[in-house]
Amino acid sequence: MFVLFGLFACSSPAHSAGGQALAFPVNLQNQKSPAVVVLFSVPDCAYCEKVRQQSLRHIHKDPAYKGRVGVFEIDFSDDRKQFTWFDGRRYTGKSLAVPLGVKFSPTVMVFGKTGAVAGKPLLGASLPEFYGAYLDELIQQAWAISLSTSTSTSLSTPSSMSLSVAQ
């Protein structure tokens, strides 16, 4: 069964998907959203278009996500167009795919605001009835990661207790 899912995830029909890509992440180091969703795609991938239209385009309009989730798309076959990743380093889609283990199209990954990966990537476009729920769960995990990685300052009290105060 996993083999069939893998074949479905990495294959794409020969016809052009014809859809418009999501925003390109020019500089993720400076983004402010506590969750960042990235669609790793390749040109003419009909399954990428399916994920883009059915699961990702609505996020900016959803009141629960507005201003709290950034949604971007990276062509992981591209070795020219550069962007700044969360760590301040410059990458192309192709150079970032290797360390992240992106091999299938589409792959959706969710990150906290500092670039920590939230859960396992979503591979392929199967099971549309569950895709949104899985994506919601990953976004919730990213929010939790972002809260836990907030800068803390340790304060000493006269009784030598240590209090942690989030800034």
Query: Using omega within 30 degrees of 0 as the cis cutoff, is the peptide bond preceding 25 cis?
Result: no
- Two tokens at 25? 């992440």
Average pLDDT over residues 4-26: 54
Q: What is the mean pLDDT of the chain?
A: 80
pLDDT at 150: 62
Neighbours of 103 (CB within 10 A): 15
- For residue range 62-76, what is the model confidence (pLDDT) as tens digits? 899 988 999 999 999
**Structural domains for the chain:** 2-13+22-166 (3.40.30.10)
Pairwise CA distance, residues 123 & 106, whole Å = 6
Burial 136-149 (b: 16+ CB within 10 A, else e): bebbebbbebbeee
Average pLDDT over residues 109-114: 96
Q: 7 or 106: which carries more pLDDT confidence? A: 106
Q: 68 or 19: which carries more pLDDT confidence? A: 68
Contacts of 63 (CB under 8 A, 6+ apart): none
pLDDT at 126: 74
